[in-house]
Homo-oligomer: A and B are copies of this chain.
Amino acid sequence: MSVVTVERKILEKNDEVAARNRALFKQQGVFVINLVSSPGSGKTSVLERTLQEVQNTVSVAVIEGDVQTDLDAQRVARFNVPVVQIVTNGGCHLEANLVRDALSRLDLSGVQLLVIENVGNLVCPANYDLGEHLKVVIVSTTEGDDKPLKYPAMFRKASALIVNKIDLLPHIKCCLNELEGNALAINPELHVFETSCATGEGIAEWSEWILERIKTTRAAESIGVPV
């Protein structure tokens, strides 16, 4: 028995389901973000701020992933968006089949943006494609500027990096240049945003970028250009 073989089979199976999810998203015209970070970096807070910013422009739905509790789904539901909570019961990441099951409880018609908030974990979710258009990784300033070097896979696979909690910079030892430089050394294609959910700083820039991505992706998909 080889653990590596089993793991490869799990990942292959996951990729098959992810491809079916991706086809469904394309068919429905839904742009999908897989939001990943350590526990407590501010995924839900960034999502709340983003909802405030984009809700008048695009129709949004949310899938929440957590090891336990539906606390995050409760927070997001206050914004009157459709939300489904996946509780993994100890599982350390979302897999494509969990998202597929959640989709059966979510009416995607008319939805233009689906945000999947992954389990708080900077390691495991990097390996599991959910069928999303892009991964967005959040790192908070309080976690220290060495995180991209220590957890490179997530930064390599992400399209955007949100550096959150920049309002705390005066009170901590964290060099933004160092943090962002480390991330860009891992992945020079990363789009970097600096945000604070306490003050709202940077949320407009990030939201503008994501709205633009939705627009160009929809336009490309509608004429059959691979994205």
Q: Is A39 in contact with chain B by the CB < 8 A criterion?
A: yes
Interface residues of A (CB under 8 A from B): 1, 3, 6, 9-10, 38-40, 66-69, 71, 90, 92, 119-124, 139-140, 142-144, 146-147, 149-153, 165, 167-168, 171-173, 198
Please give, as numbers and ranges, the residues of chain B lying within 8 Å of A40 by CB-CB distance.
38, 139-140, 142-144, 147
Copies of this chain, tallied across the complex: 2
Q: A168 to B142, alpha carbons, bound, how many Å?
A: 10
Please give, as numbers and ranges, the residues of chain B lying within 8 Å of A124 by CB-CB distance.
92, 121, 123-124
Closest Cβ neighbor of A42 among chain B residues: B144
Q: Is the CB of B150 within 8 A of A69?
A: yes
Partner of A147, one of B39, B121, B122, B172: B39
User: Would you give 19 A-B contacts (Cβ < 8 Å), ordered by A?
Assistant: A1-B6, A1-B9, A3-B10, A6-B6, A38-B38, A39-B150, A40-B142, A40-B147, A67-B152, A68-B150, A68-B151, A69-B150, A71-B150, A92-B121, A120-B150, A120-B151, A121-B122, A142-B142, A142-B168
Q: Is the CB of B66 within 8 A of A150?
A: yes
A39 with B69: in contact, given A6-B1, A6-B6, A171-B168 (CB under 8 Å)? no
Please give, as numbers and ranges, the residues of chain B lying within 8 Å of A146 by CB-CB distance.
69, 71
Q: Is the CB of A68 within 8 A of B152?
A: yes
Q: Distance (Å) between the CB of A173 and the closest chain B CB?
A: 8
Partner of A119, one of B123, B152, B171, B198: B123
Closest Cβ neighbor of A167 among chain B residues: B171
Q: Distance (Å) between the CB of A6 and the closest chain B CB?
A: 5
Partner of A121, one of B3, B121, B149: B121
Q: Is the CB of A68 within 8 A of B6?
A: no
Q: Distance (Å) between the CB of A141 and the closest chain B CB?
A: 9
Please give, as numbers and ranges, the residues of chain B lying within 8 Å of A140 by CB-CB distance.
40, 142
Please give, as numbers and ranges, the residues of chain B lying within 8 Å of A143 by CB-CB distance.
39-40
Q: A165 to B172, alpha carbons, bound, how many Å?
A: 10
Q: A66 to B87, alpha carbons, bound, how many Å?
A: 27
